[in-house]
Amino acid sequence: MNPTPDNAAVAPEADVAAIVNADHPDPFSFLGMHEAADGALVVRAFQPRGHRLELVDAATGRPVADMARHHEEGLFAVHLPDRTQFFPYRFRLHDPDGVHDVDDPYRFGPLLGDVDRHLLAEGTHLDSYRKLGAHPATQEGVEGVSFAVWAPNARRVSVVGPFNHWDGRVHPMRFHPGSGLWEIFVPGLGQGTYYKYEIKASDGTLLALKADPYAFYARTPPETASVVWGLSDYAWSDQAWMERRGATVRTDSPMTVYEVHLGSWVRIPEEGQRSPTYRELAHRLVPYVRDMGFSHIELMPVSEFPFEGSWGYQPIGLFAPTSRYGTPDDFKYFVDACHDAGIGVIVDWVVGHFPEDPHGLVYFDGTHLYEHADPRRGRHRDWGTLIYNYGRPEVSNYLLTNALYWMDQFHIDGLRVDAVASMLYLDYSREDDDWVPNEYGGNENLEAIAFLRRMNERVYDAYPDTVTVAEESTSWPMVSQPTYLGGLGFGYKWNMGWMNDTLTYMLHDPIHRQHHHDELTFGLLYAFHENFLLPLSHDEVVHGKGSLLDRMPGDRWQKFGNLRAYFAFQWTHPGKKLIFMGDEIAQEREWKHDESIDWHLLEDPYHAGMQALVRDLNHLYRDTPALHRHDCASDGFEWIDASDNESSTISFLRKGDTPAETVAVVINFTPVVRHGYRLGVPFGGSWTIAFSSDCEAYGGAGVTTGGAVPGDQVPWHGRPHSLSLDVPPLGALVLKPDDPPAAGTTGPGGASGTATTASS
């Protein structure tokens, strides 16, 4: 063996004790290869399971020296008096598992450059996920995994996993004080490795093991470890879709959204009622949605989450598609299949709060790092969750880069931002003494507002052919207006007012609806203040509300008739459309996240008829320009009669770019046939019934199902022409003119004439 100087020079007692106790302030300054005081080299390693350690020349594979054990816990060191030039090396480890060569993490230099550290600290690193988290990498020809995490107030951070027997003493990380970042390259690891971070707070307290905030994959709950995955080179086949997808989310496009909870759309009964995988859904859900005519699927949150009953709305792994249904590449396969079928994918994005599970972001480095320390700003009382500190640059950057990550790595076409109202207001769902005003004394969360605006600006700048949608339930102005005009910058806003008013109207027995007519029509007073999407989401069929069908009044026939009329109203009303899975087949019971949709109901003609109705409404909406071209503009809508409360009937025009594209809609919300119902129209000649919700194929009565209706030169509703119709019970009719005036004209009493709300 090579001679060595005294132990104090090779392995100073204080340093050894700090390493053994996992409390060394700079392990890279001690472990690994260093120049000794005499100019020679000294190599130190901590291998607590080793009973012998040899230093090996990596170039030749030959042993250089045995390393002396300087502490019984496994601190080894060797002094090399004949070596003055640093050289690549590895260790030959003798432990209970046998003899094997291992590379030393402490021989490798820093991973994060000055620019990355500066941008990350500044909160302007728009692709921080490429630097933080766990990435399979090669350093100096050695394969392994690079780990990096932000924990500025920690005393020590170690990466732990089965590879080091979850021992935080083995792989303490390098700290960059100016940025609060910790990093290490661990040789020999690869994709699929389980890991967490062991963090010691500044006061020496060991925290619960933490999952990686930037993990791209995670173990399936109830397991909580992160999984090394990396940014894979998935071979996408959706180039054609990506080139044209921008046209599918424009305000003049027919956008209909099918909201899905992946775990309960269908179950596999022959395999214990398990949920389908991403790849199985690609071959079952995607063809179904395409056949039904929806333009987009909206996925309830797919970011990893611990509690099944949260449906994903309490996420912990924002960068990890949930492993419940497969790997990140499996999820990409699903998105690819959607795109190949001409279907866009919107994901619910939850950045309004996060849960307190100890392996998550809560008290991450022993301080309130991601959340506000003051519970009046940092805690949601209703949900038992924590609120992000949007004013902290690193936190807002974490969330912003996550939005871009989904679009970059998964080709996601849109983000529906959950619970925006809870982000905008400091006093959201709080008592008077439980909130802190902003610097101007108001209740607006200025930091969250700035974050949302920045998010929308960055998303639309990087991916102008995608869309952002706000679930915002208040009258906050200009949610879907550009930020340069003072808006929040979203593409669309959910019209919660329309949903609440009209569902309330539908709950009334038809005999009483004449007294609540305004609940049906009020939404048109503000229908064009925002770019609206009309949502009948999962929220309307949970928490004891029952299914949509169950909430309709009357006997079985009337329940179905009411729901058919309601869907027809939604599809012909200005605004884009969204319904939740199961609504299209008139699910009879409330949705349950751990059970399949009741697909057996389609054996019943009423349920099959509802499915056919929704399919045909989608195609009618897509193929009829008047029903979508001006969804978000007032010149695409005109009341014919909004005030016929005695008949509980409404009628209106939807208009396209030419008179020929005009359609008339009349909907009867009573179970009584309106014989000889006179409807004022802008053009003379006959009109053809293009759609009737009363068709027997849908389960209707078949009173009025189609054909041409002759026009009369009888002035009505302030127009020179009219039609005499038998409007079916609980039914809707959509009519198109057979002989409209030529483009560039309106004809007598044309479609551009003055609207009226009074019957003649």
Distances in whole angstroms, Cα of residue 138 to Cα of each of 196, 301, 563, 631: 21, 34, 60, 53
Alpha helices (H) in 573-664, listed in sequence order? 605-623
Buried b (16+ CB within 10 A) or exposed e, 104-122: bbbbbeebbeeebbebbbe
User: How many other C-beta atoms are found inside a 10 Å radius of the C-beta of residue 675?
Assistant: 10
- Residue 346: which of 310, 305, 301 has the closest Cα? 301
Give yes or no for a contact between 502 and 569, defined as CB atoms under 8 angstroms apart: yes
Residue 184 and residue 214 in contact, taking contact as beta carbons nearer than 8 Å: no
97 included as an active-site residue = no
Output DSSP code: residue 37.
T
Separation CA 490–CA 29 (nearest Å): 49
52: left (phi over 0), alpha (psi -120 to 50) or beta: beta
Catalytic position from the list 394, 471, 530, 584:
471
The encoded tokens of residue 238 equal 């959706």
Three-state SS for 454-512 is HHHHHHHHHCCCCEEEECCCCCCCCCCCCHHHCCCCCCEEECHHHHHHHHHHHHCCHHH
Strand residues in 648-720 grouped as ranges (E) = 649-654, 663-668, 674-681, 687-692, 707-709, 711-712
Catalytic residue among 418, 501, 616, 631: 418
Local structure of 138: helix, strand or coil: strand
Question: CA nearest 11: which of 91, 73, 58?
Answer: 73
Torsion sign over Cα 52, 55, 58, 63: negative
Measured CA to CA, the distance from residue 355 to residue 566 in angstroms comes to 37
Q: Which two tokens stand for residue 506?
A: 């539908």
Residues 6 or more apart whose Cβ sits within 8 Å of residue 689: 704, 705, 706, 707, 708, 709, 733, 734, 735
Please tell me the number of Cα atoms within 13 Å of 107 on its side-chain side: 24
Concerning whether 638 is annotated as a catalytic residue, the answer is no
CA distances from 177 to 114, 121, 154 (A): 12, 10, 10
Query: Which residues are catalytically annotated?
Result: 418, 471
